[in-house]
A and B are shown apart, each in its own frame.
Chain A
Amino acid sequence: MALPKRIIKETERLLADPAPGISATSHEDNLRYFDVVIAGPNQSPFQGGIFKLELFLPEEYPMSPPKVRFLTKIYHPNIDKLGRICLDILKDKWSPALQIRTVLLSVQALLSSPNPDDPLANDVAQHWKENENAAIQTAQEWTRKYATA
C-alpha cells in the first residue's frame, strides 16, 4: 500500500534538514519504521553519549502518536528499563499537528531536563529526588558504559 504523502514529506525533510544532534532514517523494507540516533545534550548527564532509539508510525498516524523506544540503556527517571518513555505528547497530549521531528526534539529535551516528579522508573526517580548529585553521577556512568559508540 502507498505510504501517505505526509509520511513521505516528513521523511524527506528529516534527511534533508536534520535537527541538530538527531538523525532518523527509515528502514528500506518498512518505511514506517525508523532508526533514530540522539546525541546526549551538552550540560546534561548524557553529554557525550550516543543513544539509539526506534520509532514506528502506526497505521493511524498522524491521528495517533508515533511509538518511540530507547534501544540504548539509559539512567533517567522518565525512561524505564525497557526503554519506554514517559512523555505526555506520546500519550494524551498528542496532536496531529506534531511531527516526528517535534517528538524527537521533545525526547532530546527530556534528556536535558529529567522530571522525577512524573516518573516511569520509580527507583531512578527516587534516587534523583533523594540525592540528585549521586543520581547524575550514575547517569554519567551509564552513559559512558552503554552509550559510547
Chain B
Amino acid sequence: MAKIPRNFKLMEELEKGEKGIGDGTCSYGLTEGDDMLMSNWNGTILGPGHSVHENRIYSLRLYCGEHYPDVPPTVSFISRINLPCVNQQTGLIDSSRLSCLSNWKRNYGLETVLTELRREMAMPHNRKLPQPPEGSAY
C-alpha cells in the first residue's frame, strides 16, 4: 500500500472535517486557517445523551507534530471535564489511558480520538461522574 505522507493525510482530514463528520457530534478544524504546517487543531465534542454530559459542548486542542501520523496527536481538553483519562490540573489526555492513543495506528485520525473520547464519556462507569460547572476551562 502507498504510505500517505503527513501533510496529505492531514489535508484529507481537514477536508473531511470541513464537510462535517458523521452525525455532527464531533467536529474539528485548523486553529489558524493559514497554518500551512497544519499542526494546531481545535475540536469539539457534543456531550452524549443519557449522561451528565448531555447538552454540554466540550472544546479541545489537538496538536499534530512532524511525525504524525506515525505518532499520535497530543490532545487536551480546554473545557473542564471529570474523566479518568484527563489530567485534572491541565486537561491533557493521558495517552496510556485512552486505547486509540496507546494503540495508535497510522490510519487513525483526529476523528478517531474525538469519537473515542465521546464513547468514554458515555461509558457506564463514567457517565454519572460529578462534573465541574458548565463552561469552565483549564
Contacts and interface: CB of A to CB of B under 8 A. Distances in A.
Interface of A: 1, 27, 30, 32-33, 54, 56-59, 61, 67, 69, 71, 73, 81-84
B12 to A, nearest CB: 9
Tier of interface size on chain B: 10 to 19
A30 B3 contact: yes
Nearest to B10: A82
Contacts of A57: 2
7 contacts: A30-B5, A33-B3, A54-B7, A58-B2, A73-B36, A81-B34, A81-B36
Interface string B5-24: 10110010010000000000
In terms of DSSP, what is the predominant structure of the interface of chain B?
loop
Contacts, number: 40
B4 interface: yes
B36 A56 contact: no
B33 interface: yes
A84 B14 CA distance: 12
Contact of A82 (B1, B4, B5, B11): B11
Contacts of B14: 82
B4 A58 contact: yes
A82 B36 contact: yes
Given A81-B34, A82-B34, A82-B38, A69 B7 contact: yes
B19 to A, nearest CB: 15
A137 B40 CA distance: 31
A101 B76 CA distance: 43
A54 B34 contact: no
A84 B11 contact: yes
Contacts of B8: 54, 56, 67, 69
B86 to A, nearest CB: 31
